[in-house]
Structures are given as C-alpha cells and as structure tokens.
Amino acid sequence: MNDSKKPKIIAIYGKGGIGKSSTASNVAAACADEGYKVMIIGCDPKSDSSITLLGGKRIPTILDLIRKGVDITEDDVVFEGYNGVKCVEVGGPEPGIGCAGRGIIVAIQKLKKISKVQDECDLVIYDVPGDIVCGGFVAPIRKGLVSEAYVLTSGEYMPLYAANNICRGLSKINTPLSGVICNARNVSREEEIVGKFAEEIGSDLIAFIPKEQIVQDCERDGFSVMEKAPDSEIAQVYRNLARAIMSRNKSVMANALEDERLRELTR
Amino acid sequence: MEKDKKEISIIHPRPSSIVAALYTLRDLNVDVAILHGPPGCSFKHARLLEEDGIHVVTTSLDENGFVFGGHDELVALLGKVTEMFNPKLIGIVGTCVSMIIGEELHDAVLEANPDVPVIEVEVHAGYRNNTKGVLFALESALDSGIITEKEFDRQKILLEEATMVEKRHGAASKEYLAPSRGDVKYKVAQRIIELLKEGKRGITIMNAKKETGYMFADITVAVNEIAKQLGVESNIVNMANIDDTLGLPRVRHHAKCIMDDFKERGIKIHHIIGGMDEYPIAGDIAGKLIEEKYSDYDFVVITGVPHAIPMESISGMEIVSVTNGPRQVLPMKEMGHDHVIVEIDLHPKTLGVNNIVESEFGATLREVAKEE
C-alpha cells in the first residue's frame, strides 16, 4: 500500500501518562483498517503498548525470553493482534532494578536479528516511554530505526514543558520532528495553545484528539476504540490522524522554545 | 561547578580504581575478593592477585545481568566461595556496570549472610586518580572494624601524597606519555662499576611501593656486593623504606621479609626511611638525610619510585634511577636523572614471593663486574 518501498517507522514521544500508548494503538488499528501492514513495538518495561490490540492479553516479552536463555525466533515474540497488526513487547526489569535503558538496546538489536517483519510493513510504531532518562530510551532513534518522530502533548503547562524538552533533545540528536499531536485534557484554549506551540517550534499540529470517556471504556475492556467503537466520533479522529501520518512527508528540525516563552504561551 | 582548570586531561589509560581496591583488599589479607561485574573486568590483575595467594572471582554479569541486575548472582557466589575456600575475610568490589545500574552490594551480603566479615567496596573505574579505589576499600574496612581510625587517617594522607607525586613528576604529569625501555642496562652497570673503582662515594635509596620492593632490593644488594668485591664497601650508604611496624598487615610482612634477606646477605641498611606504603613521603626523609649527612656524595642509585626524591637534595650527584614503569622514563629524564632504567614486568615476579628476587639490572651488574 505504501508507495515507497521503505516502511514508515515512527515514534511518538511525550510526557508520561499523556496517552502515547492509547494513541499509538489506535493509530496502529486505524492504519490496519485502511489496509496497511502495521507493526507496533512497545519499548516500555511495563509492556502495555499492545495490550489493547490483543484483547487485553499480555504477550511474552523479548527480554523475558532472553533472560530465560531461550533461543528466540520470530514466532516467540511477534504476535498478531487486531486486524493483523504485528505486536512486539520489549519488556524489561522490575522497577528499581537493573537497567531498562540497556534492555531496550539489547531487545531491539535482538529483534532486528531474528525478524524481518519490520521491512515488510508499511508502518512501524515504536511506543517509547515518556521520560527519555538515558541513552537506551532513544536507542530506536539513535540506531537509525526510527525515521519520523511525533510529539504528543495536551495544552497543560507540564506536558508542554516536557514536549518542548523532547524537541530540544530530538534536535540535539539530529532527528527531525514530523508533527505535534494534541491529546486534549479539556483545559482552556487547548487547541489554540498547542497549535501555537507547534507553529513556534516550526512544526504543525496534525491532530487534535478530544477527551472522550469512550477511549477509557474501550481500554478497560482491553480494546482499542477502532475495534470496540469503530463508529464513534473519536474513531474518526484516529482515522484522520492515521491518514495524516501515512501521507505526511514534512519534517523539521524543531526549534525548542525558551522557558519564558513557553510560560507566556500557556497563560 | 566549574572544572578545575589546572587539571590536565590525560589521554592514555590510567591505573584503575577497581584494581586499586583489589590490591588494597589483598593488603588487608582478605582470602577472597569478589568482583561484581562482567567476567572480563580487571582480568589481568585478578590473575596476578591469584598468584599472590588470594582468590579473585567474579559474578560474571552478562547482557542479562546488565538489564536485570545481578543480585541473585552475587548472593549465590558469596555462598559458593564460603563453601569452596572457607575464608576468614571476604571483599566485594563493584565495577563500572554494577555501579551504573545501582546494584546494592550490602543487600546481597545481608541475604547471603556469611559468618565472616565482608568488606564491601562500591567503586568503578571512572575516577581520575586510582587512589580513590584504595580510599573506598579502606573506608569500608574501617566501617567493618578491620582497621583503626588512626591507620585510616595515616593511609589517607599517604594516598593524597601519592596522587601528588604522580601529578608532579609521574605518569599523571602529562596528557600522553609514550612508553620507553630507558637506558641500556649494560652501559649503566659499567658506569656504576667505574664510579666505584674510582673510589667515588654513593648512596642507594630503595623507595619501593609495597611488594615491588622484593625486586628493587636486589639492586641494593648487587651494588653492595660489587662494592665489597672492590673493597670499597664503606663508600656506600644504604637507605630503604622497610619499616616493618607500619602499614597494613601484608605490607608489614613484606618489610620484614626484605629486612631479613638484607641481614642474611650481610647488607647493612644505614637508614630506614619509612614503611613500604610510605613511598610518597619517604623520599622527603631521604632528601633531608642527604642534605644533613651526605650532600658531598658523588652518585645515587634510586629504585622504586625515584621521582619522589626531591631533586634539590641530589642534583649535585650523578643519578641512576630504576623504575618498573615504562611511562616513568621521560618524566625522570626531564627531572634531570642521568640514567633511567626500566625493570620490565617487575610486578608479576614480585607477587606471591617472600624473598628478594633477582632483578635484570642486578644480574647485569654482577655479570659486568665478573668481566672486568
């Protein structure tokens, strides 16, 4: 389906808890509905990125199997979820022990070695933890796997602050930004604020996802909106976002704002 | 905080703090030292230390260990070594990887609960001065009641001095130091014999770092043997840092062994200039002695850490210095030492011994003396 032979490989960054995994899984499902071959690679040690694509089930993670000393094959770690979406979870150590960052590096190298699924896809989404606290958490980008980065934020100050920092980080490692997505939290002038932020850093606001209870309801049941409530308005928003991402070919080196300007923006 | 501008950025690899901690544990007479880290860490020194009679083992953390931590491995290894070696004192040393991922050595000790004291050293190799490794090991030994506060304070001063000695004229004095084999031993041996024959008066100063003294002492012995053969024994004054009442247990033992050997071979040490861990400060004592009593002597043969002897006290003499550090040649030449000799691979030969071992320069002196 994709015109170019190379898959579109994206990562969605943003403050922890802002809705990256929800957005990623709904975009994955929406793209699959459009007929694209899609893969989602969860890089959070909590391994919850693909859970709503698998009917609430958990899959064995790459690091679980590495730890057990299993001679891993593709079938052990790549699982098919909703509408053929390939799901992988990197996994990681228990909180407070070992090194999750190193875990991501080891796991994505392993995956690259044992599976060519990524190359056969139209869209690959790396779902990365929000706080890029060390080198491992940007490994998908650093290792040249990710070609497009998106930033997800609400119109609240702290998520914007985090988004701005992420933009600074992306520029530092020479990774262009492909767009800003607003996952609304129902704060005042939200679309305007995030739109302005996107403009000032040199990018675009490519979607505004309103806050809808239905997203939560579907997640609680272990499903994406696309699967459980395909006729809802919010499903259409995700569909539009999916199309926007698939057709997007503009990316810029983001110009992070000064703290002062960022505060002004949210006032 | 602004970085100290006076610090030069040294680009050749430097002695490791992890290794320094291992050697300190040895001097504290641990029976087993556990490296908590990857199997390759400190490999060469671990092997050398095994030659020296202690067991050095590793938790062998691999990629899994890096990611998931190595607590269980450390607990298991503590149990295993207790069973295998029946130790009376155990040491655990951190490594870069275990420290970066935040491993708690103490948690593992509590869980394994061996019924002997354990010295836990949280150290990695990222310190500018490897003496940090010594310091951390001593701090932990102090906490476990293995050494006294007094000994700890004494060691701390020595470490600071040692760091300064290396910064001033040692391997930490330049950004990059190429190794050198120094001057030809044969020629320098000839020169010393010539000086002795001419009836010149000389001083030998052994200022050796701990066990390296087993070989440097041989040079003191050789010079005295030849002076005796030539009938000019009384022209030589000997100094050595072999006070056996100072330092950690193993270091005192070395001093006693070397002293006994000197006695057995009929070598009189006129001045004991300190303990075998006092090489950073014993040089000053030697310097003062020379200024007071021997300032008119003609030549001096300094072994061990020759760059710790202040130049003011010896600048009028012909200076022969013997080091085991190929990177020490250039700084000592620059200080003004006339002849600099390197005893290559000295350290491995001085581990696990209790007697003076033959040095290459000592052997050369004896051979040249025979020919003449």
CA distance A46 to B250: 51
Q: What is the pLDDT of residues A51-63, one digit of tens each?
A: 999 999 999 999 9
CA proximity to A93, closest of A78, A85, A104: A104
Q: Has A196 been annotated as catalytic?
A: no
CA distance A83 to B353: 73
B40-64 mean pLDDT: 96
What pLDDT score does A266 carry?
A: 86
Q: What is the pLDDT of residues B249-305, one digit of tens each?
A: 999 999 999 999 999 999 999 999 999 999 999 999 999 999 999 999 999 999 999
CB of A129 within 8 Å of a chain B CB? The answer is no
Contact call for B68 and A67, based on CB within 8 A:
yes
Contact call for B64 and A67, based on CB within 8 A:
yes
Q: Has A15 been annotated as catalytic?
A: yes
pTM: 0.85
A192-216 mean pLDDT: 97
A14-29 mean pLDDT: 95
10 Å Cβ neighbour count for B125? 23
10 Å Cβ neighbour count for B334? 12
Q: What is the pLDDT of residues A66-117, one digit of tens each?
A: 999 989 999 999 999 999 999 999 999 998 999 999 999 999 999 999 999 9
What's chain A's average pLDDT? 93
Q: pLDDT category, B312, cuts 50, 70, 90? A: very high
Contact call for A93 and B100, based on CB within 8 A:
no
Beta strands of B24-178 (E only): which ranges? Answer: 32-36, 55-58, 90-94, 118-121
B94-109 mean pLDDT: 95
Q: Has A112 been annotated as catalytic?
A: no
Which chain A residue lies closest to B61 (C-alpha atoms)? A98
Has residue B55 got a pLDDT over 70? Answer: yes
Q: Which two tokens stand for residue A102?
A: 């190193």
Q: What is the pLDDT of residues A208-253, one digit of tens each?
A: 999 999 999 999 999 999 999 999 999 999 999 999 999 999 999 9
Nearby residues of B174 by Cβ (< 8 Å), 6 or more positions away:
B8, B10, B330, B331
Q: Give the residue numbers in B contacting A (CB under 8 Å), as ranges.
A: 63-69, 71, 100-101
Name every chain B residue with its beta carbon within 8 A of the beta carbon of A93: 67-69
Which of A97, A100, A106 faces B63 most closely, judged by CB atoms? A106
Q: Has A131 been annotated as catalytic?
A: yes
What pLDDT score does A138 carry?
A: 84
What pLDDT score does B1 carry?
A: 42
CA distance B94 to B125: 9
CB of A46 within 8 Å of a chain B CB? The answer is no
Q: What is the pLDDT of residues B123-169, one digit of tens each?
A: 999 998 999 999 999 999 999 999 999 999 999 999 999 999 999 99
Number of residue pairs across A and B with CB atoms under 8 Å?
Answer: 36
Contact call for A99 and B101, based on CB within 8 A:
yes
Cα within 13 Å of Cα(B247), Cβ side: 27
Task: Write the secondary structure of A148-216 as one string of H (helix), E (strand) and C (coil).
Answer: EEEEEECCCHHHHHHHHHHHHHHHHCCCCEEEEEEECCCCCCHHHHHHHHHHHCCCCEEEEECCCHHHH
10 Å Cβ neighbour count for A236? 13
Q: pLDDT category, B2, cuts 50, 70, 90? A: very low
Which of B63, B64, B68 faces A97 most closely, judged by CB atoms? B68
Q: pLDDT category, A267, cuts 50, 70, 90? A: confident
pLDDT-wise least confident of B9-13, B37-41, B108-112: B9-13
Q: In this structure, are residues B329 and B307 in contact, taking their beta carbons and an 8 Å threshold?
A: no
